Structure 1
Amino acid sequence: MSSFLFSNEPLKEEEHITVDNTCWDILVVDDEEDIHQVTKLVLSDFRFEQKPLRFHHAYSAKQAMDILNSEDSISVGLIDVVMESNHAGLDLIKFIRNDMANHDIRLILRTGQPGEAPEESVIRDYDINDYKNKTELTAVKLKTLLYSALRSHRDIQTIERHKQGLERIIDASSSFLKCNNVQDFASTILSHVADVMGLSDSDIYCAAAVNKQYGAGAKFQLLAASGAGIAPEQTALPDKVKSRFIETHNRKTSSKSDHEYVGYFTSQAGLETMLYVSKKGLLQPTDCQLLAFFANNIALAYDNLNLRETVKESQKELSYILGEAVEKRSKETGSHVKRVAHYSLLLAKLVGLNDYRAEIIKLASPLHDIGKISIPDVILNKPGKLNDDEWAIMKTHAQQGYEILKNSTNDILQCGAIIAHQHHEKWDGSGYPQGLKGEQIDIAGRITALADVFDALGSVRCYKPVWTLEEILTEIKRQRGQQFDPKLVDLFVENLEQFVAIRDQYPD
């Protein structure tokens, strides 16, 4: 080792420093003080990708294990073979790879006694990255070895960051499928952008917007913005961000700088999605690649959400149209089905059903009387009380409604079949057509039954005048546990103001 420059000055114990990505951490493991001195001296001016080295010193395999257990930032380990035992270095290799399961750190064995650990068998049997005799390791060769090891570690870390980022993207993208509307979608974007980049919300500012591909650049719709102290509901954007969106719309391509990224992606529906992200620190190539993947998924998810909302709106409109057609035939108001739908949604949420199930009940409830299309006009619109024969015919509308809808595979129509069939069943078992009792009646049928009666009593019918709210409330309480589910009645009474507000919002 004649090319090494020795120093007699002992090495001072290095303080633990928090990882800040401004240097490369090197672990030197050797029981010879001179080796530590020489290694640090030779590599004192070493730079890789403009970052210096930071040394951690261990004089035995045991000390090295302690350092590795407390430091997760070590990039390269320079390890002596013979220390407290003839195979201490080899045992340390096994500990790192097997016990710690650390396969990222690059491990280089250095030995002054090659006979104790033959090179060929060591390279074959131990997961190391190089093996060198100390006598052949000149200053130039040591630096060359370190360049190679650090490049390898950097590439492994890049792959791992991509892997973790893609896992976060997959996790984030799957949550898009759970979004029921644009507002949910926007908040989902914001909650995951920082996570995809592995940062805290306070480290970045992000905003998402959509526009028509061939519309005016300034006409974009802001989905949401967050970060850097911005509230999620804020709609005002900084002028710089507005300019970036307009520039991106006009250029129709993604762009990036040291601190900013603007992703641009188009959809089959003729829309464009733009994602703006700015970071306090430098944006790494990995950041931009992950954001590009994520922004592309945002565009696809937004396209699908729009399609789902279009289908959903179509289903809702068809449900209302069918319900209103039946109501008009019986000379009742079309607003009845809208009110029943909203009452049913409110009851479903109050009773604890999830948003999807509650929405299905809302869209299906307007179909509760669909079977009345089979009832003759003379019975349907008869003023006053029906006779026994007429009442027997009228009661068939529940079964008829079920028969009309039962063969559909659509969730809304399936629920509509249940509601049509069961909304005249009663909690005490005295209802029709099946005489179901208590929880034998589907929750959708129980909910719609209460919603329908509340609205019908408060509306003009050919066979009765409008009841006052006090009269309606008295009747519903009287029917608690008889016609209606007691729990639903209690929830209705406790939240009466909300039901009255819905009635006032959709007048006849």
Structure 2
Amino acid sequence: MTDLVFADENPELDTDGNAPKALEPWVVMIVDDDVAVHQVTQLVMADFEFSGRRLQFLDAYSGAEARELLKTRRDIALILLDVVMESEHAGLDLARYIREELDNHHVRIVLRTGQPGQAPEEHVIKSYDINDYKEKTELTKRKLITVFYAALRSYRDIMIIEQSRLALRRSIDAITRIYDSHNLRRFASAVLEQAAHLLGYEAQGLCASRVAAYAASHIEGRLKVLAATTEYSRLLVDEEISNLPAEVKVALDRALDDQVSSFDAHHFVGYYRSSSGNETLLYMTFSEPVDAQSRELLEIFCANVAITYEALLLREEIQDTQRSTVYIIGEAVERRSKETGAHVRRVGELAALLAELSGLRSSEVEFMRQAAPLHDVGKIGIPDRVLNKPGKLDAEEWEVMKTHSRIGFELLSKSDKRILQLGAIIAHEHHERWDGQGYPRGLLGEQIHIAGRIVALADVLDALVSRRCYKESWNFDEALSYVQEQAGLQFDPDLVAKLMANLPAVKDIYVRYPDS
């Protein structure tokens, strides 16, 4: 029976009439002390191709030489390994080195021996992690080609599984960081980058969305990039769809007009419209033709990114509404006491800054930003004659004023929501002092909750630089001097130090939120 011979083939042309970009070759290492074995193997396999990829050979003429090469190469798909070289078991020792010391379980190892008595097949297969065992006398061209097909197919499938495992790990890790639509873009891009690998393709692409007016009016009528692979990653910064190559823009516009997915041999444009009217597109180009199953998986990816993005937009809208409600309540209290509403916003921003400087988690920093403006909500229960008295309060009036801490606590603590629970603590403790001389409970030092200590400092700093019915505003340097003098007395000295070390950030808050 004659050996199978592979004829040269002209590469297929892509849709533009150009030869597609050549794929990286499969790397095959020949480890044998017989130069002729290297020459014959490479000659016989010169025209071999698998999955659109040719072969690249590496030569090693001893086990020691192979070890040096393997230390720097993790891309070898197949090793054709002789048993007897510089020693009777040099090949077997190398196989164990690859699996145990290099911890490389991906490369396929085919043992080739001219002396089967030196390494009996049953013993070798049982004792060593090799993938095939061949006597050199039986390796005709046909059988060698069969060995290559089997080994490379196995290696390809192992690498797809490995890439899938790594992609899943990255995706799970990224999921924990999806707090807003900006982080969604990073997550979706990471998943999109892996999607092609999971399917076994080399690809580039992007995912974009056009959101319905009622969901996000600020991007009505225009596409916003949600995810992109490396080639289109610049769009995640400026999101300018107009900067796309003409053929990509035409494909996206056509999909929006036709409202259907489309594909050809090397391109896929997925279209998905959610129940609320948001439209999401997935554009990808592939080095090889895309099969129907792959297109279906990509459409599922497109739909799920769209649904997740829509859910995050809704969550952000709820959070914005919640923040606005908190500010409205805080500002209503401030206006009742004839003070500027900017005070509650600045206290919230100052509290968030100090929380971040204190090492609190990002979620806790955001809770501080939203809860701190409620620090004086208890003033709603203070009579106008006390709240707006232009001069100094007498002893009786002062006792009435101090009850606003308790009133605020009682109002807010009725809710089981975390922000309002934190607001209750702040309302109750933001007039406590580090030296224990504060009210309402006379807490000392770290007995005061960190949120209470932070807002105590933020509230006083902003009150000093703001005009009140009972005093004129201080200049900023005077207020800072007072804060420093009270470190260790009224305020947590560590928080004062952090504030003084970050004055540019503090001053920026006053630029962004001036008194109206």
TM-score range, shorter chain: 0.7 to 0.9
SS in 1 for 2:238: coil
CA–CA distance in 1 between the matches of 2:68 and 2:504? 63
Tell me the residue number matched to 1:44: 46
Counterpart in the other structure of 1:234? 238
User: Is 2:500 aligned against 1:498?
Assistant: no
Does the aligned pair in 2 maintain the 1:477–1:489 contact within 8 Å? no
1:303-318 alignment, distance < 5 Å: 303-318=310-325
- Cα distance, 1:364 vs structure 2: 1.1
Aligned CA distance change for structure 1 residues 276 and 77 (closer, same or farther; 3 Å): same
Deviates more, 1:307-316 or 1:250-259: 250-259
Matched, 1:61 2:60: no
Correspondence for 1:464 among 461, 470, 479? 470
User: Sequence identity of aligned pairs in percent?
Assistant: 43
Cα gap change, 1:124/1:251 in structure 2, threshold over 3 Å: closer, same or farther?
farther
Amino acid paired to 2:165? K
1:403 correspondence with 2:410: yes
Letter in 1 for 2:331: E
Inter-CA distance 74–289: structure 2 relative to 1 (3 Å threshold)? farther
Aligned counterparts of 2:157 and 2:301: Cα–Cα separation in 1: 22
Please report how far the alpha carbon of residue 420 of structure 1 lies from its aligned counterpart in structure 2 after TM superposition: 0.7
CA shift, 1:316, in A, is 1.2
2:212, 2:276 within 8 Å by CA — same for their partners in 1? no
Does structure 2 retain, via aligned residues, the 8 Å contact 1:209–1:223?
yes
Q: Given the alignment, which residue of 364, 368, 372 partners 1:365? A: 372
Aligned with residue 390 of structure 1, among 389, 393, 397 = 397
Q: Which residue does 2:223 correspond to in 1?
A: 220
CA shift, 1:259, in A, is 6.5
Structure 1: which amino acid aligns with 2:378? G
SS at the partner of 2:428?
A: helix
Structure-1 separation of matches of 2:312 and 2:274? 12
> Which amino acid letter does the alignment assign opposite residue 98 of structure 1?
E
Equivalent residue in structure 2 for 1:246, among 250, 253, 264:
253
Shift in alpha-carbon separation, 1:403–1:84, aligned structure 2, 3 A: same
Compute the displacement of 1:261 (Å).
Answer: 5.4
CA distance in 2, matches of 1:495, 1:56: 58
Whether 2:497 is the aligned partner of 1:487: answer: yes
Q: CA deviation at 1:165?
A: 3.0
Partner of 1:48, secondary structure, is: coil
RMSD between superposed Cα atoms in Å: 4.3
Relative to structure 1, is the Cα distance of residues 322 and 65 closer, same or farther in structure 2, using a 3 angstrom cutoff?
A: same
Task: Work out the CA distance in 1 between the residues paired with 2:232 and 2:211.
Answer: 28
Corresponding position: 1:111 with 2:113: yes
The residue type paired with residue 222 of structure 2 is K
Give the conservation status (yes or no) of the 8 Å contact 2:345–2:513: no
| Residues in 2 aligned to 1:184 and 1:218: alpha-carbon distance in whole angstroms | 22
The verdict on how the C-alpha distance between 1:220 and 1:494 changes in structure 2, with shifts beyond 3 A counting, is closer
- 2:18 is aligned to none
- In the alignment, the residues of structure 2 paired with residue 39 and residue 406 of structure 1 have an alpha-carbon distance, to the nearest angstrom, of 80
Secondary structure of residue in 2 paired with 1:401: helix
Residue of structure 1 in register with 2:330 after alignment: 323
Answer yes or no: is the 8 Å Cα contact 1:204–1:228 preserved in 2. Answer: no
How far did 1:398 drift? 0.9
Instruction: Classify the secondary structure of the residue corresponding to 1:25.
Output: strand
Comparing 365-374 with 44-53, which one deviates more in the overlay? 44-53
**Ranges in structure 2 where 5+ consecutive residues have no aligned partner:** 5-21
Tell me, in whole angstroms, the C-alpha distance in 2 between the residues paired with 1:126 and 1:144: 22
TM-score normalised according to structure 2 size: 0.75
Residue in structure 1 matched with residue 13 of structure 2 by the alignment:
none
2:70 is paired with a residue whose SS is helix
State how far apart, in whole Å, the 2-side matches of 1:252 and 1:217 are.
17
Paired residue secondary structure (2:347): helix
CA deviations over 1:107-166 (Å, ceiling 9, x no partner): 333333434444344334433333333333332222233222222222223322333333
Greater Rg by CA: 1
Instruction: Report how far residue 360 of structure 1 moved.
Output: 1.9
Counterpart of 1:16 in structure 2 is none
1:338 aligns to what? 345
Comparing 320-329 and 494-503, the one that deviates more: 494-503
Give the TM-score taking structure 1 as reference length.
0.76
Secondary structure class of the residue paired with 1:114: coil
Contact 1:182 1:305 in 2 (8 A): yes
- Residues in 1 aligned to 2:463 and 2:507: alpha-carbon distance in whole angstroms: 18
Larger mean Cα displacement after TM superposition, 448-457 or 137-146 = 448-457
> Contact 1:76–1:149 (CA<8 Å) still a contact in 2?
yes
